[in-house]
Amino acid sequence: MREDIDPGRRERYMPSMIDDKIKSLNILIAPDKVLRAHARPVAAHDNQAVRELIPRMFATMYRAPGIGLAAPQVGLGLRLAVVDLMTNDKPAPIVMINPEIVALSKELATHEEGCLSLPDQYADVIRPALVKVRFLDQSGARKEIEADGLLSACLQHEIDHLDGVLFVDHISALKRNMIMRRLSKDMRQKREDALVG
């Protein structure tokens, strides 16, 4: 990856991520089968596509609005995810190419999670409180990030997407079935409303 991305062009990615001229991508909604597939690692031959994809993924995520988006959610089976918690309403984008979790704490934490692929559905999810993730950034540099709180939950959530796992897989079958039924009903209603409108 590193040899094909010019670090000097890094500034081209960041400003364009919230550029209104960038076209959004379609977000897949569960139970789309693409969301259940394991994404493949990003390889050198993917570099051009990834460079073009990153700003569009950020634009899609910001407009949704959301704080994380993985490539499988927009129909691409690549190990790529973007995150931005927008702490204090200031962009702090993170691009993770081929991320891997290298450490998890034994201590657990509960956070309410939602997902752009399960719109308007939320549940409390228990995950390790602390996580350390290793990945390549958009310039091809190897990075490590240690996180707790919401960022920890978000990083784990997005990496789950790369393995075909949704946040509802971390809750009881009863709650999961309720959410999936509610989502199905909501989506059916939206389709009907679109036909009428």
Cα–Cα distance measured from residue 49 to residue 68, given in angstroms and rounded to the nearest whole number: 19
Structure tokens at 80: 């790529």
Cα–Cα distance measured from residue 93 to residue 82, given in angstroms and rounded to the nearest whole number: 7
Task: Give the CA count within 13 Å in the CB-facing half-sphere of 189.
Answer: 6
Q: Where in the sequence numbering do the catalytic residues fall?
A: 158
Residue found under tokens 């570099």: 47
Q: φ, ψ for residue 35 (rounded to 5)?
A: -70, -15
